[in-house]
Chains A and B, each alone.
Chain A
Amino acid sequence: MGDRKIKVETLTRVEGEGGLFIRMSGDTIEEVRLEIYEPPRLFEALLRGRPLEDTPDITARICGICPVAYQMSSVHALEAALEVTVSPEIRRLRRLLYCGEWIESHGLHMHLLHAPDFLGFESGLEMAKQFPEEVNRGLRLKKHGNQLVDLLGGRAIHPVNVCVGGFYRIPNRNEFQKLIPDFEWGLNAAMETTRWVAGFDFPEMESDCEFISLSHPDEYPMNDGVMKSSLGDVIEVDQYEAEFEERQVPHSTALQAFRKSTGRPYLLGPLSRINLNRQQLFPQARKLADEIGWEPVCRNPHKAIIARGLEIVHAYEEALSILRDQHPAGKPRESYSPQAGIGKSATEAPRGTLYHRYEIDDQGKIIEACIVPPTSQNQAQIEVDLKHLVTESAGQEDAELGRKCENLVRAYDPCISCSTHFLKVTIDRH
């Protein structure tokens, strides 16, 4: 066997545009590379000099799928720099907003992007012809997520209501109450959906990766906590940049993230969150995890779709608890005066931990911004797992191998749009 090259020109059913490149010499895998075509948009650079108030609106535009995550990480980081503490009510509403994004993003990925791989369809829309009930249910779940972000954020994509210190306006009790019946239906539907995907036929696979996610003693991680590792240790968010680093690796033109202490890549996202925080799930989600036999630590990346289902169930439960107990009373946002400082924050985007750091001057202008999205951190681990897959399946036809690799990539729900401003990219497709 001579040189063999497998190229997936365009990864489909992922956010943003990228490809996949595998080069083998005989049985030796020389290179497995996720290729990113997304042009750089230079957000960190164009934030410099702008008033800090612009940050949540601008960083949201990094990604249309998870704008809430960008807004959450940015306002938390800026509030840290400004030494502002938000009220419990605002904190709760921020979690509620995050629930909306998780439901929407996971709902989209599960039904329209990922499930077709297990059932053999080109798309969720195609799949709808044979699985109308499941797809329609998925669309309704997704719609609920959007409705929640719509209410609390103003619109589903690039919400307008988030600001440093809180919100511009807090909707009234009545507006929240209106969502409850839908969400009660949705909670059950989400459990059904999770049972449905748990019954898929999953390829055997074990990844020996390190799982990392935020962790919080009292709640399932979303917008607060410390970084926890499946290796057992804990990293303060402040130490993020000291602990994780991006490196140039020989087989890739992209910078890839590694843990300094291990020298190895790591994985963020729903699989990591569940593996590390299962006890913090709301009761029905936890019960469902037991019911479907979720392992103590699930190492099969393909099963992330189940993890997403469990997280949707959790998000519905938590959203309902907040919606039911919503009596807007306090002021919508904390006031502050500008002061020079540095603030860091990590929150849990649907795809994993999203880290922001800002340095601001005493006029409240951004001096420096650093944004580390989850997908760019996961890339190295994805490549490791791909390599593993290719090694095991080397005997297969190029097309089949390519398809398997693509399926695996999709299991991580990579968001290439997000990752681009961070990743080193090559624009040459050929």
Chain B
Amino acid sequence: MEKPRLAVFKFASCDGCQLSLLDAEDQLLSVADALEIVYFPEATSRMEAGPYDIALIEGSISTPHDAARIQQVRRDSRFLMTIGACATSGGIQALRNGADSAEFMRAVYASPGYIEVLDQSTPIADHVTVDFELRGCPINQYQLIEVIQSLLAGRTPRTPGHSVCLDCKRRGTVCITVAQGIACLGPVTQSGCNALCPSYNRGCYGCFGPASQSNLVSLTSQMEQDGASKQEISNSLQNFNNNAPAFREESRRLLDRNGEPY
């Protein structure tokens, strides 16, 4: 049987998610054995054209060139999977979406005229059909391996959708909000990090984006009751998944609508 052809593509991102694959030191060689890695510039000089069986996409779309490039990648790829917050929600760089992007460019570049960028940094799914999304900033290496394993076995990958809280309890972390009054996005954030931050005595900052049916209004109301300002709460939602609809809407509700419901 021919091995599935794997390609890894990068758009606007930090490289961390594709590094997760190279960081799977124990499985890396067996992954490389089970698949043909035919396009993965960070790891190999082998650069074959499509079609690809599995394409991993890192990064968001933020330039006209990338907007065109992703279309070709989609045409070339049978199973297209986005990896990480940039690709699934637009990434930290989507913070510019609401802002004056020309002003943003001027703040960083002396003569921004050279740089051709779109006003918005958007997730891959805004441009092409995505077959599977792996969340996280960065993604969880074990989830990535599980997905690859599932694809090899012809299964639907299993990645849990529960909140961070469940993982805190499974690993025996005491709730930092209740016991210490530390603000935490855990109750509304999807698991995947194994409830990392609370185990390091800090509040979850939402790397894996909103959990399904997350009740943000209730959590942010509680945070306000505990003394946080709307600006501070909104700020806590404006991280790597700021453009994920649930976080984005709640942040806007707090700031633009002064907390009034839509």
Contacts and interface: CB of A to CB of B under 8 A. Distances in A.
Chain A directly contacts chain B within the complex, with at least one CB pair under 8 Å: yes
Interface of A: 10-17, 37-46, 48, 50-51, 54, 57-58, 61-65, 67, 104, 108, 112-113, 116, 122-126, 128, 135-136, 139-140, 142-143, 146, 154-158, 160-161, 163, 167-169, 253, 255, 332, 417, 421-422, 424-429
A429 B65 contact: yes
B44 A125 contact: yes
Given A46-B92, A168-B201, A10 B41 contact: yes
A35 to B, nearest CB: 12
B45 A154 contact: no
Interface string B92-111: 11011001000111011111
Contact of A125 (B15, B28, B111): B28
A62 B86 CA distance: 12
B193 to A, nearest CB: 7
Question: Which A-B residue pairs are the 8 nearest by beta carbons?
Answer: A64-B16, A123-B44, A45-B107, A45-B104, A143-B25, A41-B93, A139-B25, A169-B201
Contact of B12 (A39, A67, A123, A124): A39
A156 B23 CA distance: 8
Contacts of B91: 41, 61
Interface of B: 10-20, 22-23, 25-26, 28-29, 32, 37, 40-47, 62-66, 91-93, 95-96, 99, 103-105, 107-111, 114-117, 121, 137-138, 193, 196-197, 199-202, 205, 207, 232, 235, 239-240
A122 B45 contact: yes
A157 B23 contact: yes
Contacts of A140: 25
A276 B45 CA distance: 33
Given A42-B104, A142-B25, A146-B23, A154 B200 contact: yes
Given A64-B16, A65-B19, A425-B114, A39 B46 contact: no
A126 B26 CA distance: 16
A429 B96 CA distance: 25
Given A12-B44, A424-B114, A428-B116, 4 more contacts: A108-B22, A113-B43, A160-B202, A421-B108
B46 A122 contact: yes
B19 A10 contact: no
Contacts of B115: 40, 424-427
A154 B197 contact: yes
Contacts of A123: 37, 40, 43-46
B20 A157 contact: yes
A41 B235 contact: no
Nearest to A138: B25
A41 B19 contact: no
B17 A38 contact: no
A108 B25 CA distance: 10
Nearest to A64: B16
Nearest to A117: B45
Given A54-B235, A63-B15, A424-B109, A125 B37 contact: yes
A16 B10 contact: yes
B96 A146 contact: no
Most chain A beta-carbon contacts within 10 A, residue among B32, B114, B115: B115
B205 to A, nearest CB: 7
A214 to B, nearest CB: 24
A113 B41 CA distance: 10
A288 to B, nearest CB: 24
B47 A12 contact: yes
A67 B205 contact: no
Contacts of A255: 110
B93 A14 contact: no
Contacts of A126: 44, 46
Contacts of A43: 92, 108
15 contacts: A40-B105, A40-B108, A43-B108, A45-B99, A45-B104, A46-B96, A63-B15, A64-B15, A65-B15, A65-B19, A135-B29, A139-B29, A158-B137, A169-B199, A427-B63
Nearest to B63: A39
Contacts of B28: 125, 139
Contacts of B37: 123, 125
A108 B207 CA distance: 25
Given A126-B44, A157-B23, A429-B65, A417 B107 contact: no
B196 A67 contact: no
Nearest to A161: B200
Nearest to B41: A12
Given A39-B63, A123-B45, A157 B93 contact: no
A267 to B, nearest CB: 22
A40 B201 contact: no
Contacts of A12: 41-42, 44-45, 47
B258 to A, nearest CB: 19
A14 B42 contact: yes
B98 to A, nearest CB: 11
Contacts of A135: 29
Contacts of B93: 41-42, 46
Contacts of A46: 92-93, 95-96, 99, 104
B19 A157 contact: yes
Nearest to A107: B25
A65 B105 CA distance: 25
B235 A17 contact: no
Contact of B117 (A40, A155, A161, A332): A40
Contacts of A428: 65, 116
Contacts of A158: 16, 137-138, 207
Contacts of A62: 14
Contact of A11 (B41, B43, B205): B41
Nearest to A124: B43
A51 B10 CA distance: 30
Contacts of B202: 160-161, 163, 168-169
